[in-house]
Amino acid sequence: MGSYVNLLKKAVYNQHLSREEIIRLLSAAGEEEIRMLYAAADEVTRVHLGNEVHLRGIIEFSNHCKRNCLYCGIRRGNKKLTRYRMEPDEIVNTALYAFKLGYPTVVLQSGEDDWYSMEIMCWIVKNIKKTANLAITLSLGEKSSQEYHRLKQAGADRYLMRFETSNQKLYGQLHPGVSYENRMQCLFTLRELGYELGTGFLVGLPGQTIADLAGDILLLQKLDADMAGIGPFIAHPDTPLKGCGSGNLDMVLKVLSIVRLLMPQTNIPATTAVGTVDNIGRQRALKAGANVIMPNVTPQKYRELYQLYPGKICIDERPEHCRICVEGLIMSAGKIRGSGFGSSPKWKERAAVIQP
């Protein structure tokens, strides 16, 4: 026990631990150790980021995807799925509705869908920016440097793309026909272009070890992510991974807490997947280091078609409902809703230096 407390202190003071030390923290099994870990993460969050929880409204605008990730419900190989695309003006209007509901940020997410050309995507971004003082996060997958550059010029502020796992062999098995190197290159390019960068990984993938999770945490640090999305893998019945066991909530929360200790200024969402494996999962995450929630603002008719994993929460809800629901969720975790765009403090510092 004593050594566990010392390790927690070391994490807080040094913001650096070796792989072995992270493994030791992740191996906490006793209730008391786990409680101390979550409490330390909550305290570090409070000291660095206050009590504020920032909201981002997410619009899932297309479930077409050219990739075939083994775990994902909208992979191109899933022939059972009805596919949809929102029209560009419908996407803009949905973003403006999110603004009206009081969201300071919208996240535009889709499968990797080339139907939306650069012209169309830039038109969408510009038109949202023209009308509303919204931060725009894009989550469109892998693109070329030129494309990322054009989207940034059009007004996009942030980009979200998880590396999913830092284990290159596992990455290769889960993502047929694509390269780990290219994903890394995309992430570094996004950073260089001045995007606020969100990335992250899945916990509980088949074949993933605790040492892999320690590697994932170290990679997040190496990428100096402004936001870290961490969620449990949930097996989808219409994918090759059907029947595999799903990620365990306590392991997700342990990972999340350690990320908070080592990266005190990084935004960490209480992910929808965490809310799916446990109905108070998001509240628990908010008490273990998370400081962001991303409620769904996708029009209700499309929601059931964007199930990256089964049992996803909020499928039957409308955007207004989720808006009210998260307010209660934040309160029940003893937090308050954030004001402003909720950029990570370290991104603000970087932006001040790069764009004086």
**Residues near ligand 5AD, by CB under 6 A:** 71-72, 162, 164, 202, 231, 233-234, 236, 273, 308-309
Which H, E and C letters describe 70-125, residue by residue?
CCCCCCCCCCCCCCCECCHHHHHHHHHHHHHCCCCEEEEEECCCCCCCHHHHHHHH
278-317 positions binding ligand FES, by CB under 6 A: 295-296, 314, 317
Q: Using CA atoms in the order 162, 168, 169, 174, what is the torsion angle rounded to 10 degrees?
A: 20
- Say whether 52 sits in a helix, a strand or coil: strand
In the complex with ligand 5AD, which residue's Cβ is closer, 231 or 338? Answer: 231
Give the shortest CB-174-to-ligand 5AD separation in angstroms.
Answer: 10
Nearer to ligand FES, 266 or 272 (CB): 272
Tokens 């996004």 belong to residue:
190
Q: Is 327 in the site for ligand FES (CB under 6 A)?
A: no
Select 96 or 325, whichever has its Cβ closest to ligand FES: 325
The DSSP H or E segment spanning 130 is helix 118-131
- Tell the smallest beta-carbon distance from residue 125 to ligand FES (Å): 25
The tokens describing 77, both together, are 């190989």
Q: Tell me how far, at minimum, the Cβ of 303 lies from ligand FES, in Å.
A: 10
Question: Which does residue 303 bind out of ligand FES, ligand 5AD, none, counting CB within 5 to 8 angstroms by kind?
Answer: none
Q: Which is nearer to ligand 5AD, 49 or 174 (CB)?
A: 174
231 interacts with, out of ligand 5AD, ligand FES, none, CB within 5 to 8 A per kind: ligand 5AD
Which residues are CB-contacts of 150 (< 8 A; sequence separation ≥ 6)? 118, 122
The nearest distance, CB 178 to ligand 5AD, in angstroms, is: 13
Contact 174, 70 (CB under 8 A): yes
Q: How many helices (H) and strands (E) does the chain have?
A: 15, 8
317 binds, among ligand FES, ligand 5AD, none (CB under 5 to 8 A by kind): ligand FES
To the nearest whole angstrom, how small is the minimum distance from the Cβ of residue 312 to ligand 5AD?
A: 9
**Residue 325 interacts with, from ligand FES, ligand 5AD, none (CB under 5-8 Å by kind):** ligand FES
Taking phi first (over 0 means left), then psi (-120 to 50 degrees means alpha), and beta for anything else, what does residue 150 get? alpha
- Please give the residues from 55 up to 84 whose contact with ligand FES meets the rule CB under 6 A: none
- Whether residue 303 contacts residue 314, with contact meaning beta carbons closer than 8 Å, is answered with yes
273 binds, among ligand 5AD, ligand FES, none (CB under 5 to 8 A by kind): ligand 5AD
The smaller minimum CB distance to ligand FES, of residues 261 and 326, is found at: 326
Residue 321 lies near ligand FES (rule: CB under 6 A): yes
d(CA 53, CA 335): 7
Decide which of ligand FES, ligand 5AD, none touches 322; Cβ closer than 5 to 8 Å per partner kind.
Answer: ligand FES
Cα 182 from Cα 180, distance rounded (Å): 5
Unique residue bearing structure tokens 């997700």: 252
Instruction: By CB under 6 A, name the binding residues for ligand FES.
Output: 295-296, 314, 317, 321-322, 325-326
